[in-house]
Structure 1
Amino acid sequence: MEPLFSHRPDSAVPDAAPGPPPSRVYRLAVPAPRDVVFSAFVGDLHLWWPANYTGFGAGTYAYVDEGIIGEESEAGESQVWGAVAEEAPGEFIQFAWTLAWRSEVPTRVRVDFADAESSDALPDGGTVMTFTHDGWAAGAEGRAQYEKYSEWPIILGRFAAYFGVPEDSVEPLA
């Protein structure tokens, strides 16, 4: 008997979805208290976010305000990058992330802030940030999201530089 549909059976489909891509996880240590680092990450986004990772480019004002993360152009146009899903100031912030993607299929960005142990790099302590991006869509769309959002070390490196830490100090954990 001939198959009803003209496509191959599922068992013959190459690269059948083995599950979502893995989480992208990075760690960064900065020489400042958690509340200061959290405040800078959220409140000073416009000062450290690289303009070439915005929709409007130079002159963009990136912000987290009233539960929205986004940007505003010099002409007053707005673009929403996502929404704050949950936060505990000084501890963590989590976004439903949709920057340059369909808003119906958000991913998850979570940044945790913890006290750093004193070390040679941070003799007076400081804050360790753990940045996690996951929640990818199923199948090919999830793989495309994973590939698109691959430059977090560059963006987080700018945040490191904001605190005088070398941009290449962002450590990939996964």
Structure 2
Amino acid sequence: MDGLFSHAAAADQPVPEHRTRTVAVSVPVPPAEAFAAFTDLIHLWWPMELHSAYGPGSHLGFEAQALVEESDDGREQVWGAVRSWAPPSSLVLDLGFGVGPGEPSRVRVDFDAESGGTAVAVAVDGGSRTAGSVDWEPVLRRFARFMGVAGASLRIDPEE
């Protein structure tokens, strides 16, 4: 009767590894302003041409404990759930972009005061869905440019 159910895990199957990757950028504003710009103004800076369900004409925003994209014709795509909202220091999301089965990626955004501004760090603990495949480097570059930093250099910690 072993293996009768297709969803039963075999004892000798490896558990998938989760890797964490961190990308950070510095912006010349205090943490409260950086947090507000990242969350309240995400529709102004997020690169919809790179990461979007509906394309450049859509709108991204936080509503009802979720990150939601709305198309120009009113369709909505829930990208993920807000797990922690702790202004001005951090934001934690489970992003899965509403597609396919699997575990969402845990995305933590930290806003740490530093000399002359705020270090904004995005750490992704890769689940098996698309949030882990978001290229956070151009996303943070776009955020930095929105915050007035031309030619922002990123700090990238390799996968652990």
Size of the alignment, in residue pairs?
Answer: 149
Secondary structure in 2 matching 1:86: strand
Equivalent residue in structure 2 for 1:131, among 85, 102, 122: 122
Identity %: 31
Q: What is the letter of the counterpart of residue 20 of structure 1?
A: E
Secondary structure in 2 matching 1:99: coil
Give RMSD over aligned pairs.
Answer: 2.5
Distance 1:111 1:162 in 2: 17
- TM-score, reference length from structure 2: 0.82
Deviations 1:133-155, CA, capped at 9 Å, x for gaps: 0052xxxxx4x758x61511011
* Structure showing the higher helix proportion among its residues: 1
For structure 2, the residue ranges without an aligned partner over 5 or more in a row are 4-9
Look up the match of 1:114.
112
CA shift, 1:22, in A, is 1.9
Look up the match of 1:54.
52
For structure 1, the residue ranges without an aligned partner over 5 or more in a row are 11-15, 118-124, 137-141
Q: Which has the larger radius of gyration?
A: 1
Distance 1:93 1:131 in 2: 9
Distance 2:152 2:145 in 1: 9
Look up the match of 1:91.
89
Look up the match of 1:34.
31
Native 8 Å contact 1:158 1:167 kept in 2 = no
Q: What is the letter of the counterpart of residue 91 of structure 1?
A: S
CA shift, 1:167, in A, is 4.9
Q: What is the letter of the counterpart of residue 80 of structure 1?
A: V
